[in-house]
Structure 1
Amino acid sequence: MEVFKMNTAGTSNHTDRRDEDRRLIYQLDGRPRLRTALPLGMQHVLAMFTSNLAPILIIAGACNLSAAQTVIMVQCAMFVSGLTTFIQLYPIKLGKNKQIGANLPIVMGTSFAFVPTASTIAATGGIGAVLGGSLLGSLTEVIMGFFYKYIRRFFPPLVVGSTLVTIGVNLLGVGVDYFAGGAGAADYGSIRNLAIGFMVLAIIVLLQRFGKGLVKNSAILIGLVVGYVVCAFLGMVDTSTITEAGWVSLPLPLQFKLVFTPSAVLSFAALYIVSGLETIGNTSGITIAGFDREATERETSGAILADALGSTTAAFFNALPNTAFGQNAGIVSMTKVVNKWCIATGAFVLMICGFLPKLGAVFSAIPSAVLGGAVISVFGMILINGIKMIAKAGFSERNVLVLGITFALGLGLGSHPEAVAQLPGVLRFIFSDSVAATCIVAILANLIFPMKDKEDIERAKKAMTDAD
């Protein structure tokens, strides 16, 4: 009888703890058991792992970095993403009203938005100019974080949407090059490369269309793994870097000499506006989905400041700027799991991965066609998101005029810098990069042609709310 009572009590305690875990995962604070928290945290890691590293691999290729240097960048990207996620979860206090970090379940990762501009800068200034521009350009987000309440009106949906469209157009060109085997490759456009690219893309599309739960969220990672294995059997994977890489090493800062050029700094500064607005949207998306409320001013400014600090840290640690990841905000929306401790377990795994160069070498050895098949759909979605934002703002006579000027000068002239080579230095700089040019021209066009129609103003407000 006594044994029965003990067993009953043990079962009851186990059931109570399991129920407590189930309750805690839907609350911001509290610590569910590791056995409960870790799988939920790993779900976020798997959903963002590929997207976190793909920009690094693309820019490393554009800079013609060695395999060992690419491994260093990959290591640092994982480490910084985990660190910045921790700051979002557990903010650094700045007095009574300000903080660095949102105190929300936000997952940070390397931003694709900077890839086109970084590729352009890399062609002339190398990795040093990319990291230097990223470092100083991040001051833009510091300003946004402290004063975003007052300056947000300068960035209506038409500005953000047209900039996203231009980023998507430029990224698709990058994605196609990788899809075909990598720009300058001897077998560029070969049937083998195209077949592998299409295979990886088909796997991702099918899993995202018909998969559920973790399988759907990890579709890109699964597509990469399948493509990687197929390429290994075909002898397309160079394993020498993996063999030579050590098992454990520290992700050290300043492995590349930073170069500060005005054009790179200003180009990055313009893009940090887009990154900051993306973080604003994902922050409000999480609070609406997880807590049924809008994000507070403190949460939003803290999220932007963490974005800025993470990007500054990334530049010191040989990696590209960070931003809040939309796919992880989507997971929160789908699962309603908002517990910070669960997300923190995933962030810890990311940081640990930063100390494993062997893992970084595995990713750096991904064949270009496999990477292209994985990321080209992501690039297409960036373009579509821009179009959706523009559509929500509406196509009034005024908006069409602003869009026409923006794309004609920003995307048109910005894509052909040789056409403006005879212009004065300031104008020549503005049109040296199509993404930065689109953002700058869109801001100016919106100021020159302000919204006067009440319907336009209401649609713009609704579009910004929907974006949040």
Structure 2
Amino acid sequence: MTITQHNYADPNEMPPLAQAVPLGLQHVLAMFASNVTPSIIVAGAAGLAFGGAEQVYLIQMAMLFAGVATLFQTVGFGPVGARLPIMQGTSFAFVGVLAGIAATQGLSVALTACIIGGLGHFSLGAVIQHLRFLFPPLVTGLVILAIGLYLIPVAIQYAAGGAAKFQMEAESFGSLKHWSVALTVVIVSLVLKFFTKGTLSNSAILIGLIIGYLLALAFGMVNFGAVGTASWFTSISALPYGFEFSLGAVIAVTLVSIVSAIETVGDVSATTKAGAGRQATDREIAGATYADGLGTAVAGVFGGLPNTSFSQNVGIVGMTGIMSRHVVTIGGIILILCGLVPKIGAVIASMPLPVLGGGVIVMFGMVAAAGLNMLSEINMNRRNMVIIAVSLAAGLGLNLVPEAVQYLPGVVKIMATSAVAPTAFVAILLNVVLPEDV
């Protein structure tokens, strides 16, 4: 949906409601599937029943607190919030670490780490400008690439009909029925993305999931049991899994938070450049970081996973030319309403794994591609190629052969085998100590 009769380069301008509401909905459609997927993956790693009440609750919190964190960004208060059209959502960057913690120590430890890590993330708002030198495109590109490559096997498992602790019937895993549903989602998503424009193109994955869901329904793969028993209005619980501190878990989540903060800096800069043709101010970058961290901490209190800015929504700002923060505020309100209705969470949770698998094949592949795109901006000299090679070898190698570090203690082992943390650590270290090629 492109509006050409007005130039809303000012974030404080408000389009007429007849235009603003569809634009806000468009922002929600573009990020909706990516927003709920991390909660589904972490719930599975924690051993929660697929489609069960606890998983439904995590999905609700993903929607609710993505909306709340979006309002922190767009409306803001005090130093919190960029006051820009920044859409927040559940971050894929944390999935590897949180899935590992949830699988070995439980959701109580994972969510406690999110709360404390979020507060640490919040504190970065005061110093973010001074840390940016640690995270050039070489480092952030490697981290994003590692996230995508780590998650791709999960996508294949889902598409084939099972994953982790909620594996489906062994005889049906990898069946033609499962793959036909997954590939339908992929094909529909790609056709809409590249052969349509506007809202259809921006919501291609969501529409692909809906088509795949309907096909799975026709195949008898959908169980509506949880939808029937879910209530229309939710009751939100503080610390639903308790508060259980683990220093290693907190360190792991905090390290990923630093990377997430730098990603947000990039998104803020891209938004102001695409929507207003200017550089982001220090106040906007600091405010966005404060909102990121606060949104993560508040979500963790109620059972939600960490939030971050969503890059796909930056593209919508550039496409529409609408820089109005009020448009994205409407999108945040829509997400909050979705999060308050358990029926919506139950419908999402009833989605068969092959349907979700088709969607995340595209999503996770795009995460990896986004990392490659960032790396394409750097000079591929001998030094940088060595950093790429060693960082990916360390991160992905330990993830593929976790037995290599089997004697490391608890969460340290989880960090070492998460793919993301070792890739980030090695890339940052080598980028600092290796001399520039001359």
Question: Residue 153 of structure 2 corresponds to which residue in structure 1?
Answer: 173
Are 2:180 and 1:200 aligned?
A: no
| Aligned partner (choices 56, 74, 86) of residue 59 of structure 2 | 74
Q: CA deviation at 1:254?
A: 1.7
CA RMSD of aligned residues (A): 2.1
Of the three residues 46, 52, 63, the one matched with 2:29 is 46
The alignment status of 1:61 with 2:64, answered yes or no, reads no
Structure 2 CA distance for aligned equivalents of residues 229 and 426 of structure 1:
41
Match of 1:401 in 2: 386
Residues 141 and 273 of structure 1 are in contact (CA less than 8 Å); yes or no, is this contact kept in structure 2?
A: yes
What's 1:96 paired with? none
| Structure 2 portions without partners, runs of 5+ | none
The structure 1 segments of at least 4 consecutive aligned residues displaced by more than 4 Å after TM superposition are: 422-430
Q: Match of 1:36, as an amino acid? A: Q
Are positions 1:365 and 2:350 aligned together?
Answer: yes
Code of the residue aligned with 2:45 in structure 1: it is A
Between the two structures, name the one with larger relative contact order (CA 8 Å, sep ≥ 6).
2
Distance change >3 Å, CA 423–CA 26, structure 1 → 2 = closer
Could you tell me the percent identity over the aligned residues?
40
1:316 aligned onto 2:301: yes
Instruction: Give the match for residue 17 of structure 1.
Output: none
What amino acid is aligned across from residue 100 of structure 1 in structure 2? V
Q: Which has the larger radius of gyration?
A: 1
CA distance in 2, matches of 1:86, 1:142: 16
Partner Cα distance (2:218, 2:57) in 1? 27
**Is the counterpart of residue 148 in structure 1 residue 122 in structure 2?**
no
The farther-off stretch of 394-403 and 370-379 is 394-403
Provide the residue aligned with 1:293 in structure 2: 278
Residue identity in the other structure for 2:65 = V
Question: What is the CA–CA distance in structure 1 between the aligned matches of 2:365 and 2:375, rounded to whole Å?
Answer: 16
Q: Larger deviation: 210-219 or 427-436?
A: 427-436
Matched pairs, number:
429
User: Residue 284 of structure 1 aligns with which residue?
Assistant: 269
Between 181-190 and 371-380, the greater mean CA deviation after superposition: 181-190
User: Aligned partners of 1:410, 1:249: CA distance in 2, in Å?
Assistant: 40
State whether residues 79 and 251 of structure 1, in contact with CA within 8 Å, keep that contact through their aligned partners in structure 2.
no
Question: Structure 1 counterpart of 2:398, which letter?
Answer: L
Residues 212-251 of structure 1 aligned to structure 2 (within 5 Å): 212-251=197-236
Task: For residues 290-311 of structure 1, give each alpha carbon's deviation from its aligned partner in whole angstroms, at most 9, with x where no partner exists.
Answer: 1100100110111111011111
- Out of 1, 9, 12, the residue aligned to residue 29 of structure 1 is 12
TM (norm. structure 1) is 0.87
Q: What pairs with 1:419-458 in structure 2 (closer than 5 Å)?
A: 419-422=404-407, 431-451=416-436, 453=438
Q: Distance in 1 between matches of 2:53 and 2:409?
A: 41
After alignment, is 412-421 or 122-131 more displaced? 412-421
> AA paired with 1:172?
I
**Aligned-partner Cα distance in 1 for 2:25–2:373:** 31
SS in 1 for 2:94: helix
Aligned to 1:463: none
Aligned-partner residue type, residue 420 of structure 2: V
| Distance of aligned partners of 1:421 and 1:65 in 2 relative to their CA distance in 1, 3 Å threshold | closer
Q: Structure 1 stretch 171-180 or stretch 341-350: which is displaced more? A: 341-350
Q: CA deviation at 1:428?
A: 5.3
- Are 1:87 and 2:87 an aligned pair? no
What is the CA-CA distance between 1:263 and the residue it aligns to? Answer: 2.5
Q: 2:247 aligns with which of 245, 252, 262?
A: 262
The aligned amino acid for 1:56 is S
